Chain A
Amino acid sequence: MIGGLFIYNHKGEVLISRVYRDDIGRNAVDAFRVNVIHARQQVRSPVTNIARTSFFHVKRSNIWLAAVTKQNVNAAMVFEFLYKMCDVMAAYFGKVSEENIKNNFVLIYELLDEILDFGYPQNSETGALKTFITQQGIKGQTKEEQSQITSQVTGQIGWRREGIKYRRNELFLDVLESVNLLMSPQGQVLSAHVSGRVVMKSYLSGMPECKFGMNDKIVIDKAGKGGVTDEVGKSDLGGGGSTSGKQSIAIDDCTFNQCVRLSKFDSERSISFIPPDGEYELMRYRTTKDIILPFRVIPLVREVGRTKLEVKVVIKSNFKPSLLAQKIEVRIPTPLNTSGVQVICMKGKAKYKASENAIVWKIKRMAGMKESQISAEIELLPTNDKKKWARPPISMNFEVPFAPSGLKVRYLKVFESKLNYSDHDVVKWVRYIGRSGIYETRC
């Protein structure tokens, strides 16, 4: 198991050091600094073995987190734990930065004592942790409160406490998708996938039982075969604004928050759960079929002699004309020996950024089924470098108000038998946002 956990700043100074196992000595702290933080080359592996001691490291802005062990630990678990540790810290004091860590080091030690025992990760749900790690002592608690805390921390529903009350029961669903594309210069899709997340903000009283439904092909086909018309399909949550007319989507794979009953999903493909309070990620999913690619990039690069490049890039929006894409940015890489650039674009603003070796073309808004064009002349300094310019791909950023996978929320039903509110009393909101992930076209 994890033998120790260290947090360093970018200079390699130790901010937090907590050792759980006897086999990890103080010299391990220095070994990591010398061999990884101060190493000249970039990180070639996130797991480094120094003198038979393994270091798992992640970097968050300027901060290094390193877990140390001498055993054959579960490597995936260690990384998951390090990410979780960052989440917990962020939930307590915001950004994981040197200042914040120094300001909260006592709290961090307290957290580390609680969520890692002898190197075994323990309950690390912030919802539960915040009930008893508060930095203000828990002196005033009654006996009932204490046992409620412990049963929650160790309980089956460790992510939610009892007795939550809201005057207005409300929930928000955000379907957030990032669409990834790699396209050849000729316009052939080399790979494309959507990775999506359903984020829920729940403000519900009691211990509500929820059931979530979407236009999952397997469920709909099954219902269709049974000959039962699906009433919930007409629910007020449908019709997010996707341009596609298709009824259902094929989901390659999905993963769920720990509140979802996985065995039920496996047998019936129904998603049922008791949600944590507040904001959390209900599920993640991935689709690769029938993806709506919101933009198409058509590059044209021509080398004119040895000192000049002509670049022309056309972008076409490919969705309903009534919808608007926002925050569009096209990044056209330029060679390292660029000496000057002239750009002309029909729409938006374009600038050559020498420090980033790219022409950045920004368009605030663009409706569907439109196209726009940029052309640039790039002057090059003559060089002796034999190696050809690697021609990095042209990348794009954007945001569109629909789900490129075609996913639609069909219903989210809430049942709370003990309290007197019903599914109809809950105010529900749903919103779809499609963003670019790695959206690249080779040129």
Chain B
Amino acid sequence: MKWRKKYFSACFYLFLSLVPLQENRQFGSKMTDSKYFTTTKKGEIFELKAELNSDKKEKKKEAVKKVIASMTVGKDVSALFPDVVNCMQTDNLELKKLVYLYLMNYAKSQPDMAIMAVNTFVKDCEDPNPLIRALAVRTMGCIRVDKITEYLCEPLRKCLKDEDPYVRKTAAVCVAKLHDINAQLVEDQGFLDTLKDLISDSNPMVVANAVAALSEIAESHPNSNLLDLNPQSINKLLTALNECTEWGQIFILDCLANYTPRDDRESQSICERVTPRLSHANSAVVLSAVKVLMKFMEMLPKDLDYYGTLLKKLAPPLVTLLSAEPELQYVALRNINLIVQKRPEILKHEMKVFFVKYNDPIYVKLEKLDIMIRLASQANIAQVLAELKEYATEVDVDFVRKAVRAIGRCAIKVEQSAERCVSTLLDLIQTKVNYVVQEAIVVIKDIFRKYPNKYESVIATLCENLDSLDEPEARAAMIWIVGEYAERIDNADELLESFLEGFHDESTQVQLQLLTAIVKLFLKKPTETQELVQQVLSLATQDSDNPDLRDRGYIYWRLLSTDPVAAKEVVLAEKPLISEETDLIEPTLLEELICHIGTLASVYHKPPSAFVEGSRGVMHKRLPARTGSGEGTECPDVGNAAGGSAPEAAPSIIPSQGDLLGDLLNLDLPAVLCNILIMSKLNSSLLSPQLGGDIGGSPAMGAGFGAAPTVMPASLNAPVGGGLGDLFDLGGGVGMPMGAYIPPKTVWLPAMKAKGLEISGTFARRAGVIQMELVLTNKAMSVMTDFAIQFNRNSFGLAPAGPLQVLTPLGPNQTIEVSLPLSTVGPVMKMDPLNNLQVAVKNNIDVFYFSCQYPISMLFVEDGKMERQVFLATWKDIPNDNESQFQIQDCHLNSEAASNKLQGSNIFTIAKRTVEGQDMLYMSIKLSNGIWVLAELKVQAGNPNYTISLKCRAPEVSQCVFQCYEAVLKN
């Protein structure tokens, strides 16, 4: 029993000992393959080598099996390469397959030796047995060694035209393999044309594989017309669809979905031929068919009878998908979520099938719940509510929370149900289960927003639970309620005061909300709460280092101190309605995802470019616009209008993604829109203090404020308008060194957005060198290393002049100050606003994006003093249209001091004139890219308001230059 000891590891011993020993030879060898999974022994490789070279066929085969088993477990058996390849010349197909398997794994690591195998491959490609021919060409395509691919071309060419369909279908896939290794070779050798010819092959499986291969190759050549879909080729595909395997049907349907029919007639005829697939047993066939139908339906006129028929046909197969295995149910539900958003009418009567079953896996439950909320309507609300109430008592915390939230959403969506929803929520609050209570309070806040002055009677019950709230969102919601209804809550001041004790330990969300609530309280009951409001204002403005909070504090402070009536109008203004639908996917993204039904993109609800590397999938798919075949078209409805305008709308929704990706790809960036998110966040929290930052999420409001043109997100970095400038004054600002103006440091990237890395900084010009001064703080638990920085293209070609010098790893809670010299010779792209800079910072954890704005004064060069004559000539030369005038208010410097101060920032006074008590200063500025800016500054003694006229050949910069004037003069 020597061999037994050798091969059997402990865990298999028990099983093997049960195998009857007298098993016949052939069966026996099959039953005991597990012996090959053994632990490594010293000298094992040596023994295997001997066995591989044995004369006995059986022994050889056994040895190869052992090698494959070791390979599977992850052991390196590449040392046996020559010995294994020697076994290749055999007529035993099983042994041959094993050797091929080995080759595919190790050929890349031993390219020179792999050449030894070429002859056998070439020979096998000529074998009379089609199975062997196919095996050879299939394996050869998997060996990614350049020298071997060269030899592959001839056999492949023959196999593509082989008489046997099995060989042809294998060869078709092999073209895709070869393309993956060497695309140029495939094009040069003309394989793509041969592959296209295979679409007309008589065998459906050959057609299907050719379609699959071409589709994949076409993905990496977005602009080539490889697939060349036209009515004739579509017809061929539709014919093959009826005859090929289930997998082939998927390839063909997925390919069809990329086609755009010429008119509604063609669209209808394709739909008619695709609908039978909805009855296929394979869910993927069904989903791919749904994709084709959803896409082509866009082109059908809505008054067409067939359109209605098609809508009705779609519901049953979608419901049937829910009786598949749970994993497929999940895929189906994620897709149904999209379909329901795009065409709610399809499933509006099918609410019941989305009811959660007790034994559904959690991922199925959560998805079903999502769809239930989307389908909730007046007709079914009673049932839905009864269900949701059941779910709120289940075990899984996430699920229960979502169920509670769903009840609130129902109340907002269906007015008739609001009362019942509120009472259900109150019942749930009575259970005193902590997370249920918190979740309920968050949604009740939204209900108050939607139906003001209706359910305030429940406030007392809510207040009872004040102490148990420990989550920021719930605390913020409760504070909002107290502030909003301060006049009805007798002890509102006490309640709010109780939160104030631990003010600095609260999260930003709670702090902001508390600030607003107390201001509201003060405006409603000014007499008793003066002390409280002063306390919170000083906490927010003086003791906090959060700029959002400070700014909001200053705004309130100033409002209250200058004009309490105006303050009342602002803070207690009527609030805009909140939207009924939440969590809707943004329409252009939804359209794209509809084009990806059934795929990973539809599961992640993200465009492929967000998770696929390289060029693949970067192409954005769109739904076709409706094009009537002539007469009888109705006026375009909303859906179509969205479809039609999609291409124009796209850039505004995913702005600069392409640029960022294109420019910064070498950093290996995920395409996240962080910078934009940060900007909009700043925007909304600055603009909507009376609303509380958290409500800013609803689409209606987001849109409203996003469009506000006057306020730039940069207002936190560089002082903009007079009002804000004052606020900075109030705060005492930051001590100003003489010389060039350096704005105070601001947080560019908050730690919570960057996995613990906080970046703040400013820009400076020192001795003619522009510097970006960064402060990196590690607020995470782990050490950060490998920092790197890169800029997106920008208006003035700013680029790092050297690498980011963070030499030592940044430990937890450590802060490092770095100054990065910048050059102005980088690539140029006009940004909006002009002085916007998009930055990517990488460390060992991830890549983060943010955008910041630099004061344009950084770009004012030292030799910007123009000759008087030149100045005069230039001033006249520049057309008057390019002149812009600005007012600088509240500036108490005299002209002399102003001139000196400006000179420090390379703004040079060339001449000075005094006319009727007004000082006229003429100044010149030169930007790093050679643009000259001429200025005329009017200073009147005793008048704190200056007038400034700017003239420049590139008038876009005037606004920025003006901002600099203001910043410099006031600091």
Contacts and interface: CB of A to CB of B under 8 A. Distances in A.
Interface of A: 1, 13-17, 19-23, 26, 29, 42-47, 49, 52, 54, 56-58, 69-77, 79-83, 99, 102-107, 109-110, 113, 117-118, 120-125, 132, 135-139, 141, 143, 146-147, 149-151, 153-156, 158, 182, 184, 190-191, 193, 195, 252-258, 261-263, 265-266, 281, 283-284, 286, 386-388, 390-393, 395, 438, 440, 442
B842 interface: no
Contacts, number: 296
Given A83-B325, A195-B323, A253-B316, 5 more contacts: A102-B12, A113-B100, A118-B173, A156-B243, A263-B273
Given A46-B327, A253-B320, A138 B131 contact: yes
A149 B93 CA distance: 15
A81 B69 CA distance: 24
B94 A391 contact: no
Given A105-B69, A154-B206, A58 B327 contact: yes
B322 to A, nearest CB: 9
Contact of B330 (A45, A49, A69): A45
A70 B613 contact: yes
A252 B323 CA distance: 13
A147 B242 contact: no
Contacts of A103: 30-34
Interface stretch (B260-268, B598-606, B632-640): B598-606
B443 interface: no
Contacts of A118: 141-142, 173-174, 176-177
Contacts of B281: 255-258, 281, 283-284
A80 B279 contact: no
8 contacts: A21-B180, A79-B328, A118-B141, A136-B26, A149-B131, A253-B317, A258-B281, A387-B433
B33 A104 contact: yes
Contacts of A388: 393, 431
A392 B72 contact: no
A19 B104 CA distance: 9
Nearest to A258: B246
A254 B316 CA distance: 8
Contacts of A17: 72, 74
A120 B330 contact: no
Interface residues of B, number: 119
A102 B37 contact: yes
Contacts of B604: 47, 49
B247 A386 contact: no
Interface in B135-168: 138, 141-142, 144, 164-167
Contacts of B431: 386-388
**Residue among A47, A79, A256 facing the most chain B CB atoms (10 A cut-off):** A79
A49 B317 CA distance: 28
A341 B518 CA distance: 56
Interface string B376-399: 000000010011001001110000
Contacts of B246: 80, 258
B275 A266 contact: yes
Contacts of A261: 242
A82 B328 CA distance: 11
A265 B279 contact: yes
A99 B317 contact: no
B780 to A, nearest CB: 19
Contacts of A182: 355, 357
A143 B128 contact: yes
Contact of B432 (A69, A132, A386): A386
B783 interface: no
A256 B281 CA distance: 5
A77 B72 contact: no
6 tightest A-B contacts by CB?
A102-B34, A253-B316, A150-B166, A76-B284, A266-B276, A77-B284
B954 interface: no
A19 B176 CA distance: 16
Contacts of A386: 431-433
Given A113-B138, A150-B131, A252-B316, A262 B280 contact: yes
Interface string B330-346: 11100000000000000
A125 B69 CA distance: 27
Contact of B598 (A74, A121, A253, A283): A74
B866 to A, nearest CB: 54
A398 B203 CA distance: 48
A109 B130 contact: no
Contacts of B74: 14, 17, 26, 29
Interface in B263-313: 273, 275-277, 279-284, 286-288
Contact of B352 (A14, A158, A190): A190
Interface in B231-276: 242-243, 245-247, 250-251, 254, 273, 275-276
Given A72-B600, A137-B94, A182-B355, A123 B205 contact: yes
A72 B92 contact: no
Interface string B182-209: 0000000000000000000001111001
Contacts of B101: 109, 113
